[in-house]
Structure 1
């Protein structure tokens, strides 16, 4: 590698590290007021220019990132817990319940209390009789092998967005986006058996074999998904629905399907971009690898 390429690579890595610090700080402080000047200091960049650089890396403004992450956290808390709505609002950086209700309603199409009772997650977690009679789309597919580059995440699966946000910046820095690009989340552990803090997952980008060979450098790790027969559950709606969707897939569909699950991690493919798509319009395919005798 020439001295010029070495310098470019080092400069790119510096940007990646600085934006990772910003992403980490934002995810860990969503319940606090986030000051753009302070974030510029964390990024060690000019307060005048850094926000423009951030937007070019991540495809959205920092303000839009914070709003998206806060509302994703709120939807997950509403779907998974019985926390009072005022407490949910505070945990997501909204000390004013009225403003939280207004902003949540504008994005999710209904106020928080109604979302908790009638949101799309409810259809998956309804009684067995209702779930069995509800038609969700599961397609059996032969999947080709995939080459991936990704970042590990440990902890609550809903927190994998932090790894995906970091991956977005690194992929933009290394010009990894192209015709092969697809966003994949790999989930190793069963949340009913493994403590939340120990759950393992990977935020991944599908790349070409050449890109994988050339770019599997820290912090990115290479991973391959083998060709297989898979049951694919097609979902539409907020990511907070995913836990209930898994319960339906394993508790209702699989026992009646005649198939057996292979001893392989489940993975998800995200078919549209949460930066550009309403949570109600997000499309996710859940891939369950099937045993072939």
Structure 2
């Protein structure tokens, strides 16, 4: 159950992923997803897990918790409303599940998310962040364009996983990265441009909707962030406000990128590692 299955069921699995991401607010019946995939319940569950490394139910739970974490930090919605939207029948069950995944109960997670960016002199900054200069070689990418809010790029990565698997790219995969072309403080969320990509060992000739890209070699400011993706905005705030000025190097006119060191499907959110790279002139 490897590449042959992915090739055979690429279109069906992409259709299911699109449906899941578009209907997270609804009761996502697993048998209904099997119908969308046009597969029997027996084969459907096995194929989905073989391709994605997790069950459809685990995907849905993970995506809803990720969205809830983002809403806790970025909105003023009540915790009860966020819990209900995530599909939990009561606040207690949501608090228990969220706490187990993110290491803090929802209210405490929200309060921590409101913390202002630490200054360069603070002990918190020293403990949380460190920026270094790293020289990298050119990186060849195969990616899938994402248009819209950056926190929603996970849906595009899921599609890329199906396409990359069905087209035999994972054998040459060296990592998973995302290129970000626009400043979210300037460009409207719905117009933000990014690229969900896998890093391969040599240039690839690809067919649409996949596209080839390259990250130029050279010096980059690198910050390692450990924790949920919903906390990345704080790392960026510190990096641009304090970390980069401390280096005394101008920034190059090229996009920043994130290198995802581990996999959110099998890593607790508190242990996710993201290396942020900003090109230096």
Same fold (TM over 0.5): yes
Q: Is the alpha carbon distance of 1:38 and 1:133 closer, same or farther for their aligned partners in structure 2, counting shifts above 3 Å?
A: closer
**Please, which runs of 5 or more residues in structure 1 have no aligned partner?**
1-7
Distance in 1, matches of 2:75 and 2:175, equals 31
Say if 2:281 is the partner of 1:288: no
Distance in 2, matches of 1:140 and 1:114, equals 34
Aligned to 2:64: 70
Q: Is the alpha carbon distance of 1:80 and 1:176 closer, same or farther for their aligned partners in structure 2, counting shifts above 3 Å?
A: same
Aligned to 1:164: 157
Deviation at 1:87, TM superposition (A): 1.7
Say if 2:214 is the partner of 1:221: no
Match of 2:183 among 190, 194, 200: 190
Summarize the alignment of residues 235-250 of structure 1 with structure 2, pairs less than 5 Å apart: 235-250=225-240
Deviation at 1:166, TM superposition (A): 1.0
Distance in 2, matches of 1:144 and 1:38, equals 46
Deviation at 1:208, TM superposition (A): 2.6
**Please, which runs of 5 or more residues in structure 2 have no aligned partner?**
none
Give the TM-score normalised by structure 2.
0.92
Deviation at 1:179, TM superposition (A): 5.6
Aligned to 1:147: 140
**SS class of match (1:134):** helix
Distance in 1, matches of 2:151 and 2:8, equals 28
Distance in 2, matches of 1:129 and 1:168, equals 38
Say if 2:270 is the partner of 1:276: no
Question: Does the 8 Å CA contact 1:31/1:93 hold for their aligned counterparts?
Answer: yes
Q: Is the alpha carbon distance of 1:22 and 1:131 closer, same or farther for their aligned partners in structure 2, counting shifts above 3 Å?
A: farther
Aligned to 2:31: 37
Aligned to 1:100: 94
Aligned to 1:4: none
Aligned to 1:181: 174
Aligned to 2:223: 233
Deviation at 1:13, TM superposition (A): 5.1
Give the TM-score normalised by structure 1.
0.88
Distance in 2, matches of 1:100 and 1:162, equals 23
Distance in 2, matches of 1:31 and 1:131, equals 41
**SS class of match (1:261):** coil
Distance in 1, matches of 2:221 and 2:118, equals 23
**SS class of match (1:269):** strand
**SS class of match (2:18):** helix
Deviations for 1:72-98, whole angstroms, at most 9, x for unmatched residues? 111111122221111212332334222
Deviation at 1:64, TM superposition (A): 1.1
Question: Does the 8 Å CA contact 1:132/1:252 hold for their aligned counterparts?
Answer: no
Deviation at 1:289, TM superposition (A): 0.3
Deviation at 1:242, TM superposition (A): 1.1
Distance in 2, matches of 1:100 and 1:55, equals 25
Distance in 2, matches of 1:180 and 1:41, equals 32
Deviation at 1:195, TM superposition (A): 0.4
Deviation at 1:63, TM superposition (A): 1.1
Distance in 1, matches of 2:55 and 2:139, equals 31
Deviation at 1:131, TM superposition (A): 5.5
Question: Does the 8 Å CA contact 2:252/2:280 hold for their aligned counterparts?
Answer: yes
Report which stretch shifted further, 92-101 or 149-158. 92-101
